[in-house]
Amino acid sequence: MPEFLAYMLDLLNSPNIFLTFHASQLKCFTENDTILFPSHKHASPGPIMMSDGMEEYVIDKIIDEQHRGRGHQYLVCWVGYGPEEDQWLL
């Protein structure tokens, strides 16, 4: 049995639109194949420039943790970047 996921649709706020759709009208999301369609690749967001000139990036989630010496390291997933950009940070 297929697994169904709920997605929020961003629709126009118009009184002429009835916000009900038959399930047969929905399609499964397919990730873009950047080898076949390289021009459709989304650009990664740039850093946030702070007033002191430092660059900051937004953390999506912390994936893993490990002990390192007397401290900890965290595997960080960044917003807008793929798993190849995940980093271990102290």
pLDDT tens, residue by residue, 45-58: 888 899 999 999 99
CB 47 within 8 A of CB 57: yes
Two structure tokens written together for 31: 């990730």
First-to-last C-alpha distance (Å) of the chain: 43
Q: Where exactly are the structural domains of the chain?
A: 23-89
Average pLDDT over residues 39-46: 79
pLDDT tens, residue by residue, 53-79: 999 999 999 999 999 888 999 999 998
The CATH label, of 3.40.50.2000, 3.40.50.1820, 2.60.40.1120, 2.40.50.40, for the domain at 23-89 is 2.40.50.40
Q: How confident is the model at residue 43 (pLDDT cuts 50, 70, 90)?
A: confident
